[in-house]
Structure 1
Amino acid sequence: MAPPLSNQVAAKIEKARQLYHRLVIVVGPPRSGKTSALRDLHDEHGWPLVNVNLALSEKLLELTAKQRALRVARIVDDIVQDQAGDTVLLDNIEMLFHPELKQDPLRLLQSLSRNRTIVATWRGVQLGSSLTYAAPDHPEFRRFEEPQALIVSSGDVPGSSGATSTQEHSA
């Protein structure tokens, strides 16, 4: 039997501390335990847990569409910088994939992870050495080949690596 998802993530956090991009991505479909695992880590270690959609939407509310696209990376960086500690847990990152914001969410997360360990939930699937977000026919669909991150898969998804799989991709 596989260890609890939060234990798998904690082990990857320790490995990530040695890497240039200190990024751990917890990938899986909705309701596969990603948020629960981050809550467990927050409760056990006291690491800040940020609902990115909520924090970001509050900051973008008064900006025009053009201003949002130009400022979103800096705003997310500010949100993370406002958190105490060396490890920050990011949940509900779906807004980063919105086409209007014109972002590369993986690159943004990698940028954040140069100075801190970042753990982010990711609604998608790990297929071999690639990481996908959303279904192929969805407007927010993205595929990232060989992401420079440590990957923990949650839940069993047809064609994915399964509940106990972790994939390491580093520079």
Structure 2
Amino acid sequence: MAEPLADIVIHKMEQAAELYHRLVILVASAGSGKTAVLLDVHKRTAAPYINVNLELSRRMLDLTERQRALQIPRLLLDIVGEDPVVLLDNIEILFDVSLKLDPLRLLQGLSRNRTVVAAWSGSIIGENLVYAAPDHPEYKRYPVQALLVVSPEAIAW
């Protein structure tokens, strides 16, 4: 599974270079191999692989809850640095309700000056990119038509 998906991700990265938001979203459920795909892409392209949960958690330790909500965009920008391509894994912290973020909008903002490949633990339901179940506090749903999406369930996107 990792090899063909990595090829597709690399192809989508090339497509993304021509777009306003250079964002590629790798969508699959937890434990389905997204990390293996990103590590394969990292090995083949030398793009930095970043564990967002780990890096943001380290930088937020000394911040209050209010400071965290305000500082996340800057902290994330510092983490990704100046690299032209970054691979973001474990982005679940961005969905934390207390941070009051719009994860997709934050990722799109990051992708204006670099290509961002983000592993999204969720699914594509109909025409929507979904994170969590509808009754869950972290539930998010976005229209998929304007996004570059790679998913083992919906390779055609």
Q: Same fold (TM over 0.5)?
A: yes
Cα displacement (A) at 1:138: 1.7
CA contact 1:5–1:33 (8 Å) conserved in 2: no
Distance in structure 1 (CA, Å) of the matches to 2:28 and 2:136: 16
Q: Which amino acid aligns with 1:98?
A: D
2:114 corresponds to which letter in structure 1? R
Q: CA deviation at 1:163?
A: 4.9
Alignment of 1:50-61 (within 5 A): 50-61=50-61
Q: Counterpart in 1 of 2:47?
A: 47
Structure 2 stretches lacking a partner, 5+ long:
none
Give the letter aligned to residue 54 of structure 1.
L
- Map residues 67-78 of structure 1 onto 2, 5 A cutoff: 67-78=67-78
In the other structure, the counterpart of 1:121 is 119
How many residues align structurally? 156
2:11 alignment partner in structure 1: 11
The letter of the residue matching 2:96 is: H
RMSD: 1.6
Calculate the TM-score normalised by the size of structure 2.
0.93
Moved over 3 A (4+): none
Cα distance in 1 for partners of 2:150, 2:17 equals 16
Name the residue aligned to 2:100. 102
For 1:18, what is the secondary structure of its paired residue? Answer: coil
Distance 1:31 1:8 in 2: 19
Q: In the TM superposition, what whole-angstrom CA distance separates every residue of 1:57-103 from its partner, at most 9, and x where no partner exists?
A: 0000110001101111111111112x5x3110000000000001000
CA distance, structure 2, for counterparts of residue 127 and residue 143 of structure 1: 9
Question: What secondary structure, in the 3-state scheme, does the structure 1 residue paired with 2:12 have?
Answer: helix
Name the residue aligned to 1:111.
Answer: 109
Instruction: Report the equivalent of 1:66.
Output: 66
State the alpha-carbon separation in 2 of the partners of residues 146 and 77 from structure 1: 24
Indicate conservation of the 8 Å contact 1:50/1:90, yes or no: yes
Partner of 1:30: 30
Indicate the structure with greater helix content.
Answer: 2
> Partner amino acid for 1:127?
I
What SS class does the counterpart of residue 74 from structure 2 fall into? helix
Shift of 1:165: 3.0
* Alpha-carbon offset, residue 120 of structure 1: 0.1
Q: Distance in 1 between matches of 2:144 and 2:36?
A: 26
Q: Return the alpha-carbon distance in structure 2 between the equivalents of residues 52 and 98 of structure 1.
A: 13
Structure 1 unaligned regions, length at least 5: 155-161, 167-171
